Amino acid sequence: MAYRVCVLRAPGTNCDAETAWCLQKTGLEAEVVHVNRFIDGRADFMGYDGLVIPGGFSFGDHVRAGALLGKMLKERFYEPLSRFSEEGRPILGICNGFQILVECGLLPGGGMSAALTTNLSSRFEARWVKLRVERENLFTRGMAGSVSLPVAHGEGRFLMREEEIKALEKRGQVVFRYAFDDGRPAGGAYPANPNGSLHDIAGISNEAGTVLGLMPHPERAFHRLTHPTWTRERMEEGDAFGEGYMIFRNMADYIRKR
């Protein structure tokens, strides 16, 4: 049986092909679908077993990062997408996809109580970072401890009222934090925390753990040879996958077992 995952794209999306490739390597059938196909009725979200919103700059990040596509999904497709997640079908948002999931309300902050805004450095940050895995859900199964993934964004600073962040933490919805190499939370220190996110938050989920948004790019760490230290590490046979691979493999395993 073929399990289908939609990789949603819009003008300005630029990580759709490699994200689809990663999904295909886990045995899923990945289809890159332009948002216009949903708008004009040629595609239906409920026809897919999973959804990934990849990185890039949807609609040029006009207004703010992810705002236009996020509001489009909220106004036109909030009901089917809510039903999609309530049925346990997984949704993954990477970088711009994370911003979009917050904007459209599928992740906390859709009522403008949260924002992913301009990095404190006022620069586009493209670097490898260490992430502390705070919560196991369908995407992070077997990823205890810390992982290394690359970031590439100009607006990745997660902001939210303190009381709401504490509620997220209490409900186990903070999934990733920026960390030092030894796994300790970065404590806001740059460049371990590349953007100034409050509480070092790099990724959050819905309460059920079926919707995940994260700023780093797991598709760019699918193989170990993309990591800058790979030439200094001994690779055993069958040990070619990077730490981003686990997120896609876990998503695929979950879809097949549903």
Average pLDDT (197-219) is 97
Q: What is the pLDDT of residues 48-84, one digit of tens each?
A: 999 999 999 999 999 999 999 999 999 999 999 999 9
Local confidence band at 111 (pLDDT 50, 70, 90 cut-offs): low
219: annotated active-site residue: yes
pLDDT above 80 (res 231): no
104 against 225, higher pLDDT:
104
22: annotated active-site residue: no
pLDDT cut 90: percent of the chain above it: 89
Local confidence band at 232 (pLDDT 50, 70, 90 cut-offs): confident
Average pLDDT (87-108) is 97
Instruction: Specify the pTM.
Output: 0.96
Q: Which pLDDT value is given to residue 238?
A: 56
Q: Which CATH architecture has domain 4-257?
A: 3-Layer(aba) Sandwich (3.40)
Residue with tokens 């239906």: 44
Q: Which pLDDT value is given to residue 236?
A: 61
Q: State how far the Cα of 85 lies from the Cα of 122, in Å rounded to an integer.
A: 35
Determine which one of 153, 199, 217, 227 is catalytic.
217
Local confidence band at 170 (pLDDT 50, 70, 90 cut-offs): very high
Q: What is the pLDDT of residues 150-159, one digit of tens each?
A: 999 999 999 9
pLDDT above 60 (res 15): yes
Q: Provide CB contacts within 8 A for 182, sequence distance 6+.
A: none
Determine which one of 95, 104, 153, 243 is catalytic.
95
Q: What is the pLDDT of residues 125-139, one digit of tens each?
A: 999 999 999 999 999
Q: Which pLDDT value is given to residue 235?
A: 62
Strands 4-9 and 29-34: parallel
Determine which one of 103, 134, 155, 219 is catalytic.
219
- Domains of the chain, by residue range, sit at 4-257
227: annotated active-site residue: no
Q: Are 244 and 133 in contact (CB under 8 A)?
A: no
